[in-house]
């Protein structure tokens, strides 16, 4: 068992972390909205934690607060994410269709340019030596594990709440939902903001885990990967993001003997999964419904 964790412990934590980013896209998808913003808010949250953890201006805070600084970083990342998510989501979500996806792509690109030009974010080099919360890397399971558990519980409750039912009504038929008195724009924005807030907190947790933080954390490709977790895992199932992340994070490890050609196979897996598993892995277990 110990040997297994030595070898695969890091991979297990990566799966939890990536699954959480998958969930951050699952919420807008509950309301039928395609977002690619998670990776941007993840990057943003990481920068908040990295700056609060290393910048001299926060030295006095760190000295007085001690370990309490870490939850404070999460809170700061959460609040900043909520504010920015409303600013990005509101103009795009007044419209139907693909606009949110395009606006969130734009957000991720703008964020990267801004971060590269901000001295406080360390430019292209990024921020180094972010203080560790634990001695062992595997101990970070105490960050991501409970958060994932909370997220799944929250999803379970959300599905049965008025807000969750509104989301699903908007997903099934936006016009009909509006005609029934569901405030469609407000609900779409809410679903989007919940996801972005989660991504921000995951970023703030990941900065100490990865020890360094730079603009490469927020690339478009990584954002696409988050979306792939949800859609390959099953966008209509609360287990979808977890299943998808487990498969797609482990896949490159399994394919490692193939070296350079494994990324080509990764692409093929995406295409084949879309064609042959349109309801994702979770859809395979859900049986054939009409």
Partner 1 sequence: MTLAWFLQNLLNGLSMGSVYAIFALGYTLVFSILGIINFAHGAVFTLGAYLTYLLSVGQFGINGLLAGWQLPFTLPFPLALLAGAGLSGLAGMAVERLAFKPLRARQADALLALVSSLGVALILVNLIQYLFGAEIYSYPSDVLGSLPPAFIFKVGGKPVAVRTVQIVLFVVSLVMLAALAWFIHGTKAGKALRATAENQDTASLLGINVDAFILGTFFVSGLLGGLSGTLIGVSFGLSGPYFGVAYGLKALAVIVLGGLGSIPGAVLGGLVIGLGEAFLPPDLSSYKEAVAYALLFVILLVRPQGLLGGTTEQKV
Binding flag, residue 205, partner 1 (CB under 8 A): no
**Which of 5-13, 72-80, 91-99, 196-204 is the region at the interface with partner 1 (rule: CB under 8 A)?**
91-99
Report the site for partner 1 in 2-31 (rule: CB under 8 A).
29
Binding flag, residue 264, partner 1 (CB under 8 A): yes
CA angle 148, 211, 215 (to 5 degrees): 90
Query: Is 105 strand, coil or helix?
Result: helix
Beta-carbon-side half-sphere exposure of residue 264 (alpha carbons within 13 Å): 4
Binding flag, residue 258, partner 1 (CB under 8 A): no
Nearest distance, CB of residue 247 and partner 1, angstroms: 14
Binding flag, residue 254, partner 1 (CB under 8 A): no
Contact code string over 119-158 relative to partner 1, x by CB under 8 A: ----------------------------------------
Nearest distance, CB of residue 12 and partner 1, angstroms: 25
Report the site for partner 1 in 34-53 (rule: CB under 8 A).
34
Binding flag, residue 269, partner 1 (CB under 8 A): yes
Distances (CA, A) of 139 to 13, 49, 213: 9, 18, 19
The token pair at 217 is 């954390």
Near partner 1 by CB under 8 A: residue from 132, 185, 211, 266: 266
Tokens 């991979």, residue? 11
Alpha carbons 3 and 14: distance in angstroms, whole number: 18
Near partner 1 by CB under 8 A: residue from 72, 101, 141, 251: 101
The token pair at 127 is 């921020």
Q: How many residues are listed for the chain in this entry? A: 290
Near partner 1 by CB under 8 A: residue from 39, 50, 77, 103: 103
**Which of 162-170, 181-189, 193-201, 216-224 is the region at the interface with partner 1 (rule: CB under 8 A)?**
216-224
**Dihedral, CA atoms, 70, 141, 108, 269, nearest 10 degrees?**
180
Contact code string over 175-204 relative to partner 1, x by CB under 8 A: xx----------------------------
Distances (CA, A) of 134 to 49, 141, 143, 152: 15, 10, 10, 25
Beta carbons within 8 Å of 16's beta carbon, 6+ residues apart: 141, 144, 145, 148
> Is the Cα torsion angle 112, 113, 118, 124 positive or negative in sign?
positive
**Which of 41-49, 50-58, 74-82, 98-106 is the region at the interface with partner 1 (rule: CB under 8 A)?**
98-106
Question: Which helix (DSSP H) or strand (DSSP E) does residue 84 occupy?
Answer: helix 69-93
Q: What is the DSSP letter of 95?
A: S
Considering the complex, state which of residue 250 and residue 269 has its C-beta at the smaller distance from partner 1.
269
> Cβ(78)–Cβ(147) under 8 Å?
no
How many chain residues bind partner 1 (CB under 8 A)?
45
Binding flag, residue 257, partner 1 (CB under 8 A): no
Contact residues toward partner 1 (CB under 8 A) are 29, 34, 91-92, 94-99, 101-103, 105-107, 109-110, 113-114, 116-117, 175-176, 220-221, 224, 227-228, 231-232, 235, 260-261, 263-264, 266-271, 274-275, 278
């Amino acid at each position: 068992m110990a040997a297994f964790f030595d070898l695969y412990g890091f991979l297990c934590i990566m799966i939890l972390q990536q699954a959480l980013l998958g969930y951050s896209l699952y919420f807008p998808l509950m309301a039928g909205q395609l977002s690619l913003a998670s990776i941007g808010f993840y990057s943003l949250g990481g920068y908040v934690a990295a700056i609060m953890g290393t910048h001299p201006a926060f030295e006095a805070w760190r000295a007085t607060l001690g370990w309490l600084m870490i939850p404070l970083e999460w809170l700061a990342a959460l609040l900043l994410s909520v504010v920015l998510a409303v600013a990005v989501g509101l103009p795009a979500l007044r419209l139907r269709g693909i606009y949110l996806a395009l606006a969130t792509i734009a957000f991720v690109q703008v964020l990267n340019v801004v971060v590269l030009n901000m001295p406080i974010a360390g430019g292209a080099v990024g921020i180094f030596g972010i203080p560790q919360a634990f001695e062992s890397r595997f101990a970070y399971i105490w960050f991501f594990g409970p958060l994932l558990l909370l997220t799944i519980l929250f999803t379970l409750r959300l599905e049965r709440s008025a807000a969750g039912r509104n989301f699903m009504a908007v997903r099934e038929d936006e016009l009909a939902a509006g005609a029934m008195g569901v405030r469609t724009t407000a609900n779409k924005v809410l679903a989007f903001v919940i996801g972005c807030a989660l991504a921000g907190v995951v970023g703030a947790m990941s900065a100490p885990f990865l020890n360094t933080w730079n603009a490469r954390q927020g690339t478009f490709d990584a954002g696409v990967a988050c979306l792939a977790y949800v859609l390959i895992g099953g966008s209509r199932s609360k287990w979808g993001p977890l299943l998808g992340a487990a498969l797609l994070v482990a896949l490159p490890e399994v394919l490692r003997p193939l070296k350079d050609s494994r990324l080509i196979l990764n692409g093929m897996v995406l295409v084949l999964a879309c064609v042959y598993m349109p309801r994702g892995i979770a859809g395979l277990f859900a049986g054939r419904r009409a």
